[in-house]
Amino acid sequence: MPLRVKPTLRDRIAGAGRPLFGGWICSGSPVMAEIMAGSGLDWLMIDMEHGPNSLESVQLQLQIAAAYDVSTVVRVPANDAVWIKQVLDLGAQTIMVPMVQTAAEADTAVAHASYPPRGHRGVGSALARSGRWNRIEGYLQNASEHVSVIVQVETLAGVENARAIAEVPGVDGVFVGPSDLAASMGLIGQQTHPDVAAAVARAFDEVAAADTPVGINAFDPAVARGYADDGAAFLLVGADVSLAARGAEALASTFIPDADDRRRESY
């Protein structure tokens, strides 16, 4: 009997009929990954760009999340053939590639994630978790069914090229990053500035015109619901480290009158 494999985030989006809400795993902690995986969220992003993750820690988190009804995404540190090859061989079914600004860069990301003739991903699935050590029947021939590629648009140049990026064959979704987008516009730290909001809306429209799912992160529930109403198909609405930090702060403030002062002095 062929080994059953979970659907990719691309497939989950296609069959959901509603926006998918996910959590960001930044800590590198397998315990936090399991807590998040069992929370009821639709998907998780394991972060190698800003999180303290190694290949070994990513594989462990993928193995842990596999026991739960949740889709996983690994954000690689860069649009790099070696990183993408190794992460896919760890068994990541969906990758997110940061800082994609042109259609050519998006095409490169897809090529990194694809076996020949579409791309140049190295063939090592018999040795790796990706093909379950040759237990997934036809993995090499049907690898595109097991892998989805999300690219990030997070600069003004990326917004200007968003439709062309979204139209690249093999790009399964475009994820807008409002923090870096704001920074690229000279508005660092002002993700809700009207000019940033207008750029996000433009990116949404351009990606939608290509009939490609668009996603975004927003930790404010009202902002996240607004993005969902505007057409976001997949959203990150919280991060393990932020949830722990805010929860710990609330706990301290409940019992300690000068907790706010102590936090300011501890930096």
pTM (2 d.p.)? 0.95
What's the average model confidence in pLDDT over 8-33?
Answer: 97
User: Residues 178, 196: contact at Cβ < 8 Å?
Assistant: yes
For residue 5, is pLDDT > 90?
A: no
Q: Rounded mean pLDDT of 255-267?
A: 84
For residue 191, the 8-state DSSP code is: T
Residue of 50, 112, 146, 193 marked active site: 50
Residues facing residue 74 across a β-bridge? 46, 95
Task: Confirm whether 168 is domain-assigned.
Answer: no
Domain limits for position 133:
9-153+216-265
Q: Is residue 109 part of a domain?
A: yes
User: In this structure, what DSSP letter does residue 127 have?
Assistant: G
112 annotated active-site: no
State the chain's mean pLDDT as an integer: 95
207 occurs within a structural domain = no
Number of domains in the chain: 1
Q: Give the residues across from 22 on adjacent strands.
A: 43, 236
**Residue 266 pLDDT:** 67
Residue 174 lies in a domain: no
CA 182 to chain centre: 19
| Rounded Cα distance, 125 and 41, in Å | 29
Asked if residues 108 and 99 have their Cβ atoms less than 8 Å apart, the reply is no
pLDDT digits (tens, 9 = 90+) for 210-225: 999 999 999 999 999 9
- Residue 1 covered by a domain: no
Query: Is the residue at 176 inside a domain?
Result: no
Nearest Cα to Cα of residue 9 among 83, 114, 95: 95
Res. 267 pLDDT band, cuts 50 70 90: low
Which tokens in the block code for residue 188?
A: 């660092």
pLDDT at 79 over 80: yes
In a domain, 187, yes or no: no
Query: 66's torsion region: left (phi>0), alpha (psi -120 to 50) or beta?
Result: alpha
Q: Rounded CA gap, 228 and 222, in Å?
A: 10
Please check whether residue 77 lies inside any domain of the structure. yes
Confidence of residue 264 (pLDDT cuts 50, 70, 90): confident
What's the rounded Cα separation, in Å, for the pair 223 and 176?
14
3-state secondary structure of 96: strand
Specify the CATH number for the domain of residue 52. 3.20.20.60
- What DSSP character marks residue 117? T
Q: Where are the extended beta strands (E) located within the chain?
A: 20-25, 43-47, 71-75, 94-97, 148-153, 171-176, 214-217, 234-239
For the segment 181-187, the average pLDDT, to the nearest whole number, is 97
133-156 residue pLDDT tens: 999 999 999 999 999 999 999 999
